[in-house]
Structure 1
Amino acid sequence: MPRLFSVRAIVLGVVLVLAFVLVYPTLHTYLRQQVELRGLRQDVAAARERNDDLEAELARWDDPAYITAQARERLAYVFPGETAFRVVDPESVEEPAAPVDEQDTPVATTTAEVPWYSALWDSMAVAGAEPTTDDATTPEKDSRTGTDDGAGAKKGTDAP
């Protein structure tokens, strides 16, 4: 019966596997570092380009005409004797918000003129106080059924 693998083939296979196990981590690290190096070189090139752009921008500020143009554009400066006009696009202007009507309660009138702890104490005092409201504005309970009639009727009157 012929041998499937000779001793030389087995030894060669073991040597190749051992070489792969020893070389792979080093080769993998080398390839990963090459990728990182390529990325860092791109970052350096981008930083140099940004630096050149900033130096060109700085050099433009030495020109008096550029300074004048920037003052007119950014700060809306005008020369003496000129009239400045500002054109406003009606679609970009927002309508002013309607003022909010504050209720006449101690909590609603607390503003920045009183310290926060005073406002908190007033709020607790208002929360614990008995409500004082007009009889005409609050619905009364029907004396016969004990339910709310919802019409604001006074006690003792017959509501239809």
Structure 2
Amino acid sequence: MRIFTVRAAVLLLVTLMGFILIMPTALQYGKQRTANQLLSAQLDASLVKNADLENERNRWKDPKYVISQARGRLTFVFPGETPYRVIDPDSVVEVPAADAHEPITDGAVTTGLTSSQPWYSTIWESVQIAGNAT
């Protein structure tokens, strides 16, 4: 009695050939499925980011939001308004009132600059002074 017959050899050969033919296709399917899942996750993240940016764009269409951003980020005020700056007393060393209007001496350009000017005026005067320097 033979354990390994011709019929068993043919069956083994057919099974091996089927495995050899199907395996590359199955591996490619797995790679493509993983790639599709990654792309789907990227698409979801892009859709969320797009919605956030769309919301931000719609907020900038509102004049009240633009005014609040100009006031908060750039410290703009309307003509006739008095701007106030609240400073934490624990983090600021108090400057005597007599020295408040003297020129600032802690920067690179110091001629004619006072602490009572808005920041953008100080920057513009600094650029002008630096442009006239020899």
Q: Which has the larger radius of gyration?
A: 1
- After superposition, what is the alpha-carbon deviation per residue over 1:34-64, rounded to whole angstroms, capped at 9, x for unaligned? 1101111221121122111111101101112
Amino acid at match of 1:51: N
> How many angstroms apart in 1 are the aligned matches of 2:8 and 2:14?
10
Distance between the aligned counterparts of 1:81 and 1:51, measured in 2? Answer: 38
> Normalized against structure 1, the TM-score is what?
0.51
Contact 1:60–1:66 at 8 Å: present in 2 too?
Answer: yes
Give, as a single letter, the amino acid of the residue that structure 2 aligns with 1:57.
E
**Which residues of structure 1 form unaligned runs of 5+?**
97-112, 114-160
* Number of residues of Structure 1 aligned to a counterpart in Structure 2: 92
1-side partners of 2:61 and 2:54: how far apart?
A: 11
Query: Matched residues in 2 for 1:7 and 1:87: separation?
Result: 95
**2:83 — aligned with what?**
83
Query: What is the Cα deviation at residue 83 of structure 1?
Result: 2.4
Higher RCO (CA-CA < 8 Å; seq separation 6+): 2
Cα-to-partner distance string for 1:126-151 (whole Å, 9 max, x where unaligned) = xxxxxxxxxxxxxxxxxxxxxxxxxx
Look up the match of 1:21.
20
Distance 1:52 1:37 in 2: 22
| 4+ long deviations beyond 3 Å | none
Which secondary structure state, in structure 2, belongs to the residue aligned with residue 50 of structure 1? helix
CA distance in 1, matches of 2:85, 2:3: 97
Q: Which residue of 2 aligns with 1:50?
A: 49
TM-score (normalizing by structure 2): 0.60
SS at match of 2:87: coil
Unaligned runs of 5+ in 2: 93-105, 107-133
